[in-house]
Amino acid sequence: MAEMHHETGSSGADFDLSQFYQIFFEEAGENLDLMEQMLLNLNLETADDEELNGIFRCAHSVKGGAATFGFSDVAELTHQMESLLDRLRRHELRPTSVMVDVLLESADASRSLLARHQSGDEGTAPPTADLVGRIRKLVSGDTAPAPAPAPASVSAPVKVETVPVEVQQTEAKSRNQVAAVNVLRTLKVVISRLDHVERADAIEELFRDIAGLGVIKSQACNEANTRVFQVETTSSNEDLLDLFAFHVSREQVVIQETVASSEITDDTGGDASEGNIAGANGPGLDVAHASSTLQAPGFGFFDGAPGAPGAPDASDAGIAAVVAAAPTSEDGLPKSSRSGTKSAGAANSQPEAATIRVAISKVDQLINLVGELVITQAMLAQNSRALDPAVYQQLLTGLTDLDRNTRDLQESVMSIRMIPMSIVFSRFPRMLRDLAGKLGKKVDFLTLGEATELDKGLVEKITDPLTHLVRNSCDHGIEMPSDRVLAGKPETGTITLSAAHQGGSIVIEVRDDGRGMSRERILAKARERGLDVSDQMQDSEVWQLIFAPGFSTAEVVTDVSGRGVGMDVVKRNIASLNGTVEIDSKEGFGMKVSVRLPLTLAIMDGMSVGVGSEVYILPLSSVVESFQVKSEAVSTVGQGAQLVKVRDEFMPVIELEKVFQVPRFNTDKTSDIMVVIEAEGSRVVLLVDELLGQQQVVVKNLESNYRKVPNVSGATILGDGKVALILDTGALVRRSRH
C-alpha cells in the first residue's frame, strides 16, 4: 500500500493525509531519538524484555505511521529494524554490538529519509539497500561481520541466501500448531517493475514473520527489475496479495499455480478464501467458530464474536467461553439504549497539552519589547529621584511597583528562551560510542545537571565547543584499556559532563579520568614554539598555554582531534559568548575543563565607566580589578606604547580616550583610574575617568542596526535614555598585542 494519498469517495470526507505529515514527522523523530537513547543505554548482557520491547515499539510506531502516510522507503527500512528487534524481544537472537550499530545507523538513515520527505522530497534519497541487507543478515542469524555494501545492482536477485528460508522452515515446523487447514499449493510468484529490486526481499521476510504462511524460495531470474519466487502455501491468492501489498503494489505481482494441489489435512471446512482466518487449530479454540463471516482484503470479523454483524446481542456459547472468567451479567444493555449517551465532550477527548509551540521570532520580539520597557522604567526611576517623596508619595510607590513588576516580567520572558542542557548533552552518548569504538577505547559517559537551563541562542553556540572538549577527552584524555590497566585504573574510562547554575552564570564541566596533562610536555612545547614561559609558572597558567593558537600536545594526530585547530578556537568561541574557560589537571589522574557562561546573551552584567562625557560598558565577566594610579606609574616604551607595573607584572595600557577619540573639554582632567580586564588569556589595563557602577544592561546588536564598529561588541540604552557602547574586550586585548 505504497500509495496512500486517497481521495475519499463514499464517506464524503475530503481526505488529504498530508495534513497529518507534520505530526507524523515530529512523532517519528521523537521515536527515533528515544530508540537511539534506549539502544545506547542497552546492556547487551542484561537486556530485559521491557527495554527490548520499548525499542521494538519505537521502530514499530515509525513503521506503522510511515506506511500509513505513504513514506514507503521509511516503512521499508523500519520494517527491517522491527523484524530484527522482534526476534530480539522474543529472545530468538541475542543482542550484539553489531546489531546496535546497524540499528543506530538505520535510525540515522530513517531520519535522513524523513527529513527529505519533510522538505518536499527534494534531492536524492540516501541509499538504504546496504542497511536493509545488513539487517536482514542479522535477522537470519548470520553473525558474521557485515560484508562490504552490496551495490543495488541487478545481480542482487541471485545472491539471496537460502539461509533465512531454512531457518524459517524449521520455525514453521516448530509452530505447526497453527498449520492451516487448507490445501497446500505451490505457486510461482513473479514480481516485476521493481524500481528497487531489494523491495521484493521484504516478501521473503513476510514468510518468516508470519508463522504458518508457508515457505518461500527465491529463484533465478534474468529479467531486470523482476524477482521470481517459489512459494508453498495454504493461503489464498487474495490473502497473499494483501500481505504483499505492504511492499509492492498489486499490479506488480503475478501469481501462478505450478504444482497440483495436495491435501495436507483432513479438514473439510473452508475454501482458500478463508485461509487467513481459518488457521484455528490452536489449543482451546473452537474450530467451528473460527471461520470468518466477512472476509475482505485487510480486515475481517470473527464469526459469532461480540458486536460482529449478525451476532446475537447476548453472548452465545463461543463468547461465553471467552469471557467465562468475567462476572456474567444478563443486563447487558441493548444497543438502542446507548444512542442517547452523551460524550464527555471534546475537552475530554485529548490529553491536555502541557506545551505550546511558538515561533522563536515572537519570543524574541517579546524580549525586545521587555527590554524597551526596562529602559523606560529605568528612565522614569532616574527622573523621579529629584521628586519630593512627601509630595509625590503615591507616584513614587507606583514607580517602585513598576520597578519590581518590570524585573519579574523580564525574568519570566527571558525564561521562555531557556532550554535544558539535555538538548546538548543528548548528542554525546552516541558520538562517544562511535568515537570510542573507532579508537578502541572503553568509555563510560555520565551527565549531571541535564535539567539546567540556558538561553536557546547560547545552547546553539556552546554545542560545538563542548563537542570539541568531549572529543578531546576521549581522544587525548582516556587511555587505551591496556594502558589503563597497567596504570592501575579500571579498564573503562569515565567522561563526566555536568552543568550547574552558579549565581548568574552557568558552569559546564567536562571531566575525564584519563592521563591528564603533563606540565613538562606543555612547557617544552611552548618553548619550542617560542612562547615566553618559565618553570616557575603556576599550574593554572601552564594549562592556559594550550589555548595558544595551534598548540597541541597530542602525540598522535588522529582523525578525531589534534590537528591543530583546537583549544584556541574553543576558547575564542566561548569568549565571544562572554564566557570563560578554566582547566584543572593532574598528570595520570585526568583533566577538568570548566566553561562559565552567562545565562543569556540578551542581558549582561556590565560595569559602566566614564570617559569625558561618554559612558562605556565593560562586561563584568572580564573585569579583574580597578585602582587609581599616579601618572608616574605608567612608563612609556618604544613607539609610544605604555605599560604599567601591577604587582610585579607589566601590563599594556590602553587609553579609551584615544581609542574612541573622545573630545575633552576640561583639559586639566586626565584619566587616572585603571581597570584591569582579561580576555583571551591576556590582561590589559584600560584608563578611564570614573567608575559609574555595575548594572544589568540589555544588549542591543549594533551590527544589525548600524554597522560593525571596531572595539565595540554592542550597545545599550542607559537609564537617562543615552546610548552607551559595550566594549569588545577581546578586540582591545588583541589591539594591545600589536
Footprint on residues 589-648 left by other proteins (CB under 8 A): none
Footprint on residues 134-173 left by other proteins (CB under 8 A): none
| Piece in contact with other proteins (CB under 8 A), picked from 346-354, 402-410, 491-499, 615-623 | 346-354
The residue type at 575? A
Q: In what order do the strands lie in the sheet with 215-219?
A: 215-219, 227-233, 183-191, 253-263
Distance CA 428, CA 413 (A): 30
Q: Give the nearest distance from C-beta 300 to other proteins in angstroms.
A: 5
Distance CA 515, CA 577 (A): 30
Single out the residue of 45, 145, 256, 342 in contact with other proteins (rule: CB under 8 A): 342
User: By C-beta, is 289 or 489 nearer to other proteins?
Assistant: 289
Q: Binding of other proteins at residue 354 (CB under 8 A)?
A: no
Q: Give the nearest distance from C-beta 246 to other proteins in angstroms.
A: 8
Q: Give the nearest distance from C-beta 277 to other proteins in angstroms.
A: 6
Q: Binding of other proteins at residue 361 (CB under 8 A)?
A: no
The residue type at 648? D
Q: How many CA atoms lie within 13 A of 11 on its CB side?
A: 6
User: By C-beta, is 15 or 650 nearer to other proteins?
Assistant: 15
User: By C-beta, is 145 or 298 nearer to other proteins?
Assistant: 298
Q: Scanning the structure block, which residue is given the C-alpha cell 607595573?
A: 645
User: By C-beta, is 277 or 698 nearer to other proteins?
Assistant: 277
Single out the residue of 46, 124, 222, 329 in contact with other proteins (rule: CB under 8 A): 329
Q: Give the nearest distance from C-beta 136 to other proteins in angstroms.
A: 19
Q: Residue 3 CB: number of other CB atoms within 10 A?
A: 8
294 to 323: interface string for other proteins, x by CB under 8 A? x---xxxxx--xxxxx-x-xxx---x--xx
Single out the residue of 120, 145, 351, 488 in contact with other proteins (rule: CB under 8 A): 351
Q: Give the nearest distance from C-beta 273 to other proteins in angstroms.
A: 14
Footprint on residues 211-230 left by other proteins (CB under 8 A): 211-213
Q: Give the nearest distance from C-beta 321 to other proteins in angstroms.
A: 9
Footprint on residues 66-105 left by other proteins (CB under 8 A): 67-69
Footprint on residues 173-202 left by other proteins (CB under 8 A): 178, 180
Q: Give the nearest distance from C-beta 293 to other proteins in angstroms.
A: 9
How many residues make contact with other proteins (CB under 8 A)?
Answer: 81
Q: Which three cell numbers stand for residue 736?
A: 594591545
- Comparing CA positions, the residue from 564, 581, 548, 559 lying closest to residue 678 is 581
User: By C-beta, is 81 or 702 nearer to other proteins?
Assistant: 81
Distance CA 106, CA 32 (A): 10
Single out the residue of 256, 349, 394, 667 in contact with other proteins (rule: CB under 8 A): 349
243 to 272: interface string for other proteins, x by CB under 8 A? x--x--------------------------
Task: Work out the angle between the directed axes of helices 201-209 and 72-89 (0-180°, nearest 10).
Answer: 30
Q: Binding of other proteins at residue 355 (CB under 8 A)?
A: no
User: By C-beta, is 11 or 268 nearer to other proteins?
Assistant: 11
User: By C-beta, is 351 or 663 nearer to other proteins?
Assistant: 351
Give the single-character DSSP code of 334: P
| Piece in contact with other proteins (CB under 8 A), picked from 22-30, 262-270, 450-458, 492-500 | 22-30
Footprint on residues 24-43 left by other proteins (CB under 8 A): 24, 27
Overall size of the chain counted in residues: 738
Distance CA 418, CA 600 (A): 8
Single out the residue of 55, 280, 615, 676 in contact with other proteins (rule: CB under 8 A): 280
Footprint on residues 42-71 left by other proteins (CB under 8 A): 54, 57, 60-61, 63-65, 67-69
Single out the residue of 11, 262, 268, 705 in contact with other proteins (rule: CB under 8 A): 11
Instruction: Give the three-class secondary structure for 140.
Output: coil
- Tell which phi-psi region holds residue 417, choosing left (phi > 0), alpha (psi between -120 and 50) or beta: alpha
Q: Binding of other proteins at residue 1 (CB under 8 A)?
A: yes
Q: Residue 446 CB: number of other CB atoms within 10 A?
A: 10
Burial code (b: 16+ CB inside 10 Å, e: under 16) for 209-247 equals bebbbbbbbbeebeeebbbbbebbbbbbbbbbbbbbbbb
> 555 phi and psi, to 5 degrees?
-80, -35
Q: Which residues contact 487 (CB under 8 A, 6 or more apart)?
A: 479, 588
Q: In what order do the strands lie in the sheet with 623-628?
A: 623-628, 673-679, 682-688, 649-655, 642-646, 634-636
Give the single-character DSSP code of 2: -
Q: Are 88 and 52 in contact (CB under 8 A)?
A: yes
Q: Are 545 and 569 in contact (CB under 8 A)?
A: no
- Comparing CA positions, the residue from 712, 609, 604, 594 lying closest to residue 659 is 712
Footprint on residues 648-667 left by other proteins (CB under 8 A): none
